[in-house]
């Protein structure tokens, strides 16, 4: 096969490799999207857990106050029993004062318990709402993940088919040309094989010498851009503009 035919093979090979890279990037983006959905779900779960923890703290505080209120009620009962047994006025007054202080303390506790009941009701509503939102969000995320997984599978199959096509194209090329291509690919970024249009390399967009441009038309050997060192070739459409 002549050089022109070999160049066509390299261009076709490069095209397939570009498709593979593009598809692999799409797969990466899809996987990243799936990861983001997982992170978003975890963040929602953390928020719900925080609201539940706040609710548990309120319940704990209420139970502690309730227990303290019961203890105070028992103390008041005991003091009232003591009151009936006192024999001096001094003891009587002291016991009355003791009962009054406990009742005052218990009144404050009961007021705080009433406040907590309102907070508990409000917090329970918040938790219920957050749990509902979380369930809906997780369901939506799972549905999206199913779609994403399907698209990843499709793209992975496409990559496999492109890899097979790439192998077939490489096998049809002259091994020496493939060696040259692989060497160039290690030295340049992006495309290794580019056309020259109007004496301008489409890889680095710099002008090449007129003599080199004329030599490209002969297709008698592989030539390189003197600036970016990519493999260059002449495109037939330039012929009409000469």
Check whether 125 has a pLDDT greater than 80: yes
Last residue of a domain, one of 140, 173, 206: 173
Q: What is the mean pLDDT of residues 140-153?
A: 96
State the virtual CA torsion across 87, 92, 93, 98 in degrees, nearest 10: 140
Residues 210 and 95 in one domain: no
Condensed to tens digits (0 to 9), the pLDDT of residues 221-242 reads: 999 999 999 999 998 654 444 3
Last residue of a domain, one of 128, 151, 173: 173
Beta-strand relationship, 200-201 and 223-224: unpaired
Q: Which residues constitute the domain of residue 216?
A: 177-241
Last residue of a domain, one of 147, 173, 199: 173
- How far apart, in Å, are the Cα atoms of 49 and each of 35, 52, 103, 112, 128? 21, 5, 38, 25, 12
Burial 123-142, CB ≥16 within 10 A → b, else e: beeebeebeeebeebeeebe
Per the structure, how many domains does the chain have? 2
What's residue 1's pLDDT? 64
Q: How far, in Å, CA of 9 to CA of 2, rounded?
A: 11
Residues 58 and 156 in one domain: yes
For residue 137, the Cα-to-chain-centroid distance in whole angstroms is 15
CATH number of the domain to which 101 belongs = 1.10.287.1490
Q: Which DSSP helix (H) or strand (E) runs through 100?
A: helix 89-172
Residues 190 and 123 in one domain: no
φ, ψ dihedrals at 222, nearest 5° = -75, 130
Q: What is the mean pLDDT of the chain?
A: 93
- How far apart, in Å, are the Cα atoms of 66 and each of 69, 73, 122, 126, 169? 5, 10, 19, 24, 81
Helix pair angle (3-85, 89-172), 10° resolution:
170
Condensed to tens digits (0 to 9), the pLDDT of residues 179-209 reads: 999 999 999 988 999 999 989 999 999 999 9
């Amino acid at each position: 096969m002549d050089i022109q035919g070999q160049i066509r093979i390299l261009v076709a090979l490069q095209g397939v490799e570009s498709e593979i890279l593009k598809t692999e990037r799409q797969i990466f983006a899809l996987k990243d999207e799936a990861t983001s959905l997982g992170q978003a779900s975890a963040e929602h779960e953390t928020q719900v857990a925080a609201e539940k923890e706040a609710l548990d703290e309120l319940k704990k505080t209420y139970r502690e106050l309730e227990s303290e209120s019961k203890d105070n009620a028992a103390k008041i009962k005991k003091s009232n029993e003591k009151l009936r047994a006192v024999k001096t006025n001094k003891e009587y007054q002291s016991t009355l004062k003791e009962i009054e202080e406990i009742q005052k303390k218990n009144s404050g506790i009961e007021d705080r318990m009433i406040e907590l009941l309102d907070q508990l009701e409000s917090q329970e509503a918040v938790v219920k709402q957050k749990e509902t939102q979380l369930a809906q969000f997780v369901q939506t995320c799972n549905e999206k993940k199913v779609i994403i997984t399907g698209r990843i599978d499709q793209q992975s199959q496409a990559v496999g088919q492109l890899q097979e096509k790439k192998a077939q194209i490489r096998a049809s090329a002259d091994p020496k040309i493939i060696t040259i291509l692989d060497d160039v690919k290690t030295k340049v970024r992006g495309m290794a094989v580019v056309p020259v249009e109007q004496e301008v390399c489409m890889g680095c967009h710099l002008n090449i010498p007129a003599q080199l441009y004329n030599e490209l038309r002969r297709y008698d050997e592989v030539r390189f851009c003197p600036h970016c060192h990519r493999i260059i070739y002449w495109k037939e459409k330039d012929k009409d503009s000469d």
